[in-house]
Chain A
Amino acid sequence: MKPGPFAYHSPTSVEQTVATLGELGHDGKVLAGGQSLIPILSMRLAKPAHLVDINRVVGLDQIEVTEQHIRVGATVRHSALERDGAAYAAIPLLRQALECVAHPAIRNRGTTVGSIAHADAAGEMPAVAALTEAVMEVVGPRGRREVAAGDFFEGALETVLDAEELLEAVRFGRFPEGTRTAFIESARRQGDYALAGVAVALTVIDGVLDRVRASYVSVTDVPGVLELTEALRGQEPAGADWSAVDDLVQAHIAPEADIHATADYRRMLAGELTRRALTEAAR
């Protein structure tokens, strides 16, 4: 379990990074926190000829909170974002989800932006990116572009990012006033990849539900947003009949079986966790 040979690059600026990635094309791979990449390299499941380590790139470790969003740079560790008081005040869902990301040791190294670029269907932060309608700030040899979360994920471990491009930052959108969120997942062991997980956001205006949405972990290929508003609009959160969303949830998800759980079990779990998350958010 040692990686195959690779060349190591350690740029210190975004410009250098992009130039290096542009030269390397498909031979290059960005290394941020390494919590997914390094095991893959050690098991020789991937053998990139070049690693471009962005940990020394100046300015990528910033968290900015504005009226509209939270902008998270490419080398911000999960734990830094999890502990950031201003970020929590702006979007509590970030911390609610980050607490479920693996274990503290992994969160201390792993980056939130990296986990979004990795686009694992079992990742918590892609689901959060979807639900917050995040904007991906992408930089490459041909300049900068912005991609909406809804357009970013293409499949399991697949995004619209080109090999020459760097996901420089992610802007998580703030929810409207009156929005409450919850994040629940069920894993075999605490910190494992979830068998199923759900993030919900419900917006209450004048004491009744105005908008309700959910996104899922481990039961969909691509983190998308499930609109539940039609089924619930106008109900009071305290007495809402959450089972009204059951069919919508089941139609939205497409879980697969693995050695840890059957697809049917995950379906049941996704339904139950949705009801529990909505109950918790409504509390």
Chain B
Amino acid sequence: MSTRQFGAPVQRREDPRLVTGGGRYLDDLGHTAYEVAFVRSPHAHARIIDIDLSDAWEVEGVQAIYLHEDLPDRVGESLPLLIPHPALIAPRVGYALAKDEVNHVGEAIAMVVATNRYLAEDAAARITVTFSSLPSVVGLENSRAATHLVHEEAAGNISAHLLQEVGNVTAAMAKAPNRLTLDLTIERSACMPMEGKGVYAVWDSDDERLRIYSSTQTSTGVRAAVAAKLGLPLAKVECIAPDVGGGFGVKIMHPWPEEVLIPWAARTLGHPVKWTEDRREHFISSSHERGQLQEVEVGFDDDGRVLALDVRFWHDNGAYTPYGIIVPIITATQLLGPYKPGAYRVEFWSLYTNTVLVTPYRGAGRPQGCYAMERTMDAIAAHLGLDRAEVRSRNFILPEEMPYDHGLMFQDGRPLKYDSGDFPASLAKLKALVGWDDFAAYKEQATREGRRVGLGIGCYVEGTGVGPYEGGHIQVETSGRVNVATGLTTQGQGHQTILAQIVADELGVPIDSVHVTTGDTRRMAYAVGTFASRGAVMSGNAVALAARVVRAKALRIAAEALEVSAEDLEIEDGIIRVKGAPDTALALATVAVLSNPLRYAFDESARAATQFAGTFDPDKPPIADDEEPGLEGQDFYSPTQATFANGMHAAIVETDPVTAEIRILRYCVIHDCGIMVNPMIVEGQVHGGVAQGVGGALYERMAYDESGQLMNASFMDFLMPYASEVPHIETDHLETPSPLNPLGIKGAGEAGTIPVTAVIASAIEDAEGFPIRSMPISPTQLWELRQQHAREDAR
């Protein structure tokens, strides 16, 4: 009996290659390609008056220098508005190279192509751009005040305004016996993949075909966008995501200017061209996220049950809105977490600033929503003098209320309807794991020792696995090798492992015979991309369905060959046999041979398949009318809606009574992503997510000055947590299956990140005894808060 792979902690099959230097990341490709450097705007807001290239052309090795005026046709038109929305009233999208005006530091103005990157940078440094500076709008408060505008035609700096309401909030609020308001702030951070963006393009003039390698989260998206921009038939463009050293959202945005420009230059110059983003470029030219101002009003009864929740927030979308308003919509809808708030009204304004654009970053608007909701829960508990976990549990949606429809529209335009979850069970597990009920005694003891400790909690629900679809293609070679292709891309999540686990079980083959390809449009032309914690849900189910197609075909062929009924057959370890009569068997590899009758005997297995080898019925064609040659099959998974994962985190922090340094003593996670394909990989996802969450809670911020200069655009000053700053993470799991998909799974990719800011704020608040309303928080800020509260207390 072979071991079931699905659900087992199978070791990551990709790791030996990746950790021994076998990875092929974007910058590992194309060593003979021309390389590109960009002249990027040093100003946050300015008009371009003149560009002088004369000095730059003197650098030896320069092949081309391009400005906006050099870009033909659609290449020079504005980049696409990828996700339009009726509430997006004043969308603005930039150009591949700036046209007349720049709207953030880092916007590309000129593109230098040279024989290598050093020379390209030498030449770029010699390009003189004359600007006429315009007043820059930096920070949400300045944008909201709208003294100056980012775009003349976006009045009030507003790109989008959306209001959703369920029930009558005004009436419910008026009737509520208790009311509180909270003003909350959350700052910017960014994805920071190990390898930034990168594009390498090869134009094959013989074949009139373009091959693009991009460090992207959607190769099908880049392919389609570039084909449209360059006016090429889709059939003449292919896009491959090689090994991608992390994405976290920034690479689902597309096409980036460079994804249009590099292929265009390769075609124009008739020579391979490559650009690899450097870290400074990544800071100032790739997207950020998270920045919001929030105002919450909540009405609740004396038991802490929320009767009315009224949320208004202002979302910083940076200078452009190519990715629409996905992030604030997710904040608005996922804010509710595991709770049913009675009446709910949420209104947001998405605002322009002269900073780099904002698109989804792991968590994608949820950390902000969770922060607003969980700060509110703590405030209710504090107001009523109730236990914080108890207040949460009184507001939970209960398992018997599933599926639960909030009456709102989610980011995919479909109803916000939770499919499953057992929030009371999750909370009980969390309380047991962290020792919730024993904490008061621990805190008392710590206080006696002169220490300050605090316990924090945060709960979230995450809509994962949004559509529209993903596909799987499976082909069994005559060697028994099983090739699996799915179109979504991999950034290190472990898709090569989990998709192989699923196929191995579905098809009944050893996992070592399964080989998975992702993100290559030559192998699977129909795909959406890797985002919204959708890899396992979408492609996992798609390859399972495809495997079932292949399995059925294999059984049909085997049944005929063995002259038995297909229902009597099973497949195990790559052998098809009659149940209960294991001697009547046929290898899957042999079925692959039989599935493809051949004319030419080029090897032993082919000899078996030639049309003269078998004893076929002369009255039938070699391939039946309703069959195709080859043991392969394809299927697609397209869900009616997202599936909703959830989790609850708790942390114990210690703050230094003198220096206000903050240390996380314990971090506990209860995680429910439905049935786990591979619990070890799920844990890894949770660990990475929590690490990024710790960064967002305590370390990372984008320090823009008033003129829009990013003052910490390096890893020296942008403080991603090291291993030394990330606590040991204790995890426990609940597996509430999703009823929506064949495998019962939910997404896990973003989960760890979502509640961390809320949890740490909750814990620091508990340690300090005053409210925390702005995150992230540093020791210097906590120290100043202490002084401010001491002054207020003294009054």
Contact = CB atoms under 8 A, between A and B. Distances in A.
A254 interface: no
B725 A189 contact: yes
Ordered nearest first, which 6 A-B pairs have the shortest CB separation? Answer: A190-B724, A265-B780, A1-B278, A261-B780, A259-B703, A2-B118
Interface in A188-215: 188-193, 195
Given A5-B118, A44-B121, A259-B717, 8 more contacts: A43-B280, A43-B714, A186-B661, A190-B725, A260-B778, A261-B780, A269-B659, A272-B659
A268 B719 contact: no
Given A2-B117, A269-B659, A189 B699 contact: yes
Contacts of A186: 659, 661, 779
Nearest to B59: A5
Given A4-B125, A189-B699, A262 B722 contact: no
Nearest to A196: B659
A192 B778 CA distance: 15
B658 interface: yes
A193 B780 CA distance: 15
Nearest to A1: B278
Interface of A: 1-5, 39, 43-44, 103, 186, 188-193, 195, 259-262, 265, 268-269, 272
A103 B725 CA distance: 14
A1 B279 contact: yes
B784 interface: yes
Contacts of A191: 722, 724
A265 B784 contact: yes
Nearest to B721: A189
B783 interface: yes
Contacts of B711: 259
Interface string B91-132: 000000000000000000000000001100110010000000
29 contacts: A1-B121, A1-B280, A2-B118, A2-B121, A3-B118, A4-B121, A4-B122, A5-B122, A43-B280, A44-B121, A103-B722, A186-B661, A186-B779, A188-B699, A188-B719, A188-B778, A188-B779, A189-B724, A191-B722, A191-B724, A192-B716, A192-B719, A259-B717, A261-B778, A261-B780, A262-B784, A265-B779, A265-B783, A272-B658
Interface string B716-733: 110101101100000000
Contacts of B712: 259
A189 B278 contact: no
A191 B703 CA distance: 21
Scoring A4, A5, A260, A262 by chain B CB atoms within 10 A of each residue's CB, the highest score goes to A260
Contacts of B714: 43
Contacts of A261: 778-780
Interface of B: 117-118, 121-122, 125, 278-280, 658-659, 661, 699, 703, 711-712, 714, 716-717, 719, 721-722, 724-725, 778-780, 783-784
A60 B91 CA distance: 62
Contacts of A3: 118
Contacts of B122: 4-5
Contacts of A260: 717, 719, 778, 780
Contacts of B279: 1
A124 B105 CA distance: 34
Contacts of A44: 121, 125
Nearest to B660: A265
B727 to A, nearest CB: 13
Contacts of B719: 188-189, 192, 260
A193 B719 CA distance: 11
A192 B780 CA distance: 16
Given A2-B121, A4-B122, A5-B122, A262 B780 contact: yes
Contacts of A188: 699, 719, 778-779
A188 B714 CA distance: 15
Contacts of B661: 186
Contacts of B784: 262, 265
A265 B703 CA distance: 18
Nearest to A188: B719
A205 B375 CA distance: 57
Nearest to A193: B716
B699 A268 contact: no
B602 to A, nearest CB: 50
A268 B659 contact: yes
A8 B609 CA distance: 65
A265 B782 CA distance: 10
Contacts of A192: 716, 719
Contacts of B125: 4, 44
